[in-house]
Amino acid sequence: MPEPAVKPDSPARRKSVDDERWAKWALTAVVAAGILAGLIIYLNNRSFIIDEAMLACNVIFRPLADIRNHLDDNQLAPPLFLILSKLSSALFKPWDLSLRVLPLVCSFLSLYLFARLGWRTMRSWFVVVSTTILSLNFEYLEFSTTFKQYACDLLVTLLLLAVATSWSGMKRRARLLVAVLLPLLIGLSFTTVFGLFGLWVVILMFALRSREGKNWEPVVILGAMTLVVSILLWLMMLSQYHHASFLSEFWRAGFPQGSIVSWTLLAFSSVLGYLVGSPPMAHIWAVISVIGFISLARCARPVAAFSIASISAAILLAILGYYPFAGERVVLYLAPVGLLSLAAGLKAIWTWKRIGAFRFVAVVLSVFLILWSGFSIWLRGNEIWLGDGLMAVIAQLDLGNAVKVPILVSKRASYAFRVYTVDQDRAQAIYLSDWNLSLGQLYAGWVRAGMPRRFWLVQSGRDDRVSGENGAGLARHCVVRQSIRRGNSAATLIEVAAELELTPAQ
């Protein structure tokens, strides 16, 4: 229902202008606070988690010419992301800070672009609400300082969405250039495929409305380029893993068996800070988002078309096993879609027939969503701030004395250990080869180290649980002399209590 006209010099108009001015200041403050929070977390320099360490080993220990080939340890990342990361790692040290620069920059640009795009779509305080939720989102803060490509996914989605909203005002040459160049972003983000399909639907709708032949050229070019890069991406995945069974294993974890509605709610749970993890909140979010999509279809049709088309493409291609990471927790690329629909839904509730009760509901929901996002950070903040803690453990080890006291490193800790000690003498480090840390494996590593009287055992993550199961057997032959523990990681100085005359089987 259209709102009644307001005279330019009326009190209502002046109040509206003042509200917009305060909302813009608040939006600027939220973006600045989000960037500051990301910068603080980045400079805190938490330890690599195992996925980061695995990917970092591929980047650090490979030459630039070999960085695009099959990665070790079942790692998968876009080629341009790997190349840029390799170049940034050559600029400055330490490795973890240099490798995390690209995700950090992408997250900062994403927050700014989301705020700008949201304000251009709907000049409302609810854009401030959705931007605040994004800046407080656990996945956003985590991936902005994690050496993985998911922050790039978010930025690319926003770039494509920005093009979709400004397509009608672009000149013919700019449209053709965009249609040719945008598909190349798949080198930075695999989820570009979903956004390209959403953009293609938007420009197809524009061409159908205009009925001009020149508007069909970008449709054909973008459609063909999207198809080509999609096929190339799939072939690259198959060439790296030789078969699709490995991808299907990831897929079963990322897309649980169930309805598409369940999958969609699971995907958006990460966008809203696990708010929809509980069924009641899931239904509340679904209702608000449906209202938002209806509102966007009226006032911002390109945003609605892009959102629905990109989500549909993600679901369809994920069902076909095209890209397994379309679901589960790595769905930061869906944040613009989910949060814009949320803002539009809250705004629609606020303006519904100008009834005070609905305005109260919109305010309560907004405050609740912001508080819930902050609560999720409070619950899981240590994961962002500390990580596995292995870097702090290694810093306290006397690596220079490794000749006298050898260091045995578990499989799970070995990747980060290699990264953090790449510039130090680590020749005496013995890397255990089995993921299950057993007494037999410790004995084999001890023999390889020359059967010393004392040795360090470096562990990380679930190694503690596994070693606990073997603790009784280990205690019969060894004594713990010192322990260094930070977060989920530990280094234990073990002294052999008596001469061991055992076989690995024992």
Same domain, 258 and 324: yes
Kindly give the residue spans of alpha helices, DSSP state H, lying in 354-490.
356-385, 390-396, 411-420, 439-448, 463-469, 471-475
Same domain, 285 and 363: yes
**One domain for residues 351 and 397:** no
250: in domain: yes
At 458, give phi and psi (nearest 5°).
-100, 125
Residues 272 and 402 in one domain: no
Q: How far is it, in rounded angstroms, from Cα 420 to Cα 393?
A: 11
* Structural domain includes residue 12: no
- Give dist(CA 247, CA 236) in Å, integer: 12
Q: Which residues contact 169 (CB under 8 A, 6 or more apart)?
A: none
Q: Assess whether 72 and 171 both reside in one domain.
A: yes
Q: Are 148 and 161 in contact (CB under 8 A)?
A: no
Instruction: Examine residue 420 and state whether it is found in any structural domain, yes or no.
Output: yes
Per-residue pLDDT of the chain in tens (506 residues, 90 and over written 9): 444 555 555 565 555 666 788 888 999 999 999 999 899 989 888 888 888 888 888 888 888 877 766 777 777 788 889 999 988 888 877 778 889 999 999 999 999 999 999 998 888 888 999 899 888 887 788 888 889 888 998 899 999 999 999 888 888 888 899 899 999 888 888 888 888 999 999 999 988 888 776 778 888 999 898 888 888 877 776 666 554 454 455 444 444 445 555 555 555 554 554 444 445 555 677 778 788 888 887 778 888 888 888 878 877 776 666 665 555 555 677 778 888 888 888 888 888 877 778 888 888 888 888 887 777 777 777 777 766 678 878 877 765 554 578 888 888 888 888 888 876 655 568 888 877 777 777 878 888 888 888 888 888 866 655 444 444 455 567 788 888 887 778 888 888 875 554 444 44
- Whether residues 263 and 338 share a domain: the answer is yes
Which residue among 332, 358, 385 closes a domain? 385
Question: How many angstroms from the chain centroid is the CA of residue 285?
Answer: 21
Q: The whole model's pTM is what?
A: 0.84
Within this chain, do residues 105 and 175 fall inside the same structural domain, yes or no?
Answer: yes
Residues 327 and 430 in one domain: no
What is the per-residue pLDDT for 256?
Answer: 46
The pLDDT value given to residue 319: 65
Co-location of 421 and 277 in the same domain: no
Query: SS3 helix, strand, coil % of the chain, rounded to 5?
Result: 70, 5, 25
Residue 457 domain boundaries: 390-496
Contact criterion met (CB below 8 Å) for 390 and 47: yes
Residues with Cβ < 8 Å from 388, sequence gap 6 or more?
47, 48, 49, 50, 416, 460, 461, 487, 488, 489
Helices (H), 386-421: 390-396, 411-420
From 355, 385, 415, give the residue that closes a domain: 385
Tokens of 269: 């749970």
In a domain, 451, yes or no: yes
* 364 and 419 belong to one structural domain: no
The SS3 call for residue 434 is coil
- Res 10: pLDDT: 59
**DSSP, residue by residue, 201-259:** HHHHHHHHHH--GGGHHHHHHHHHHHHHHHHHHHHHHHHHHSSSHHHHHHHHHHS-SS-
How high is the pLDDT of residue 481?
82
Decide if 263 is inside a domain. Answer: yes
Domain boundary (385, 400, 424) is at 385
| Pairwise CA distance, residues 95 & 48, whole Å | 10
The upper half-sphere exposure of residue 443, i.e. CA atoms within 13 Å in the direction of its Cβ, equals: 16
496 in helix, strand or coil? strand
CB 277 within 8 A of CB 304: no
Residue type, 154: L
pLDDT for residue 244: 47
Question: Residue 2 domain-assigned?
Answer: no
Question: In terms of DSSP bridges, do strands 454-459 and 407-409 run parallel, antiparallel, or are they unpaired?
Answer: parallel
Same domain, 373 and 480: no
Provide the domain count of the chain. 2
Does residue 342 share a domain with residue 266?
yes
Is 117 part of any domain? yes
pLDDT at 116: 93
Q: Which residue has the tokens 């069974």?
A: 245
In a domain, 6, yes or no: no
In degrees, to the nearest 5, what angle opens at C-alpha 195 toward C-alphas 137 and 292?
Answer: 60
Longest dimension (CA), the chain: 95
Contact criterion met (CB below 8 Å) for 404 and 384: no
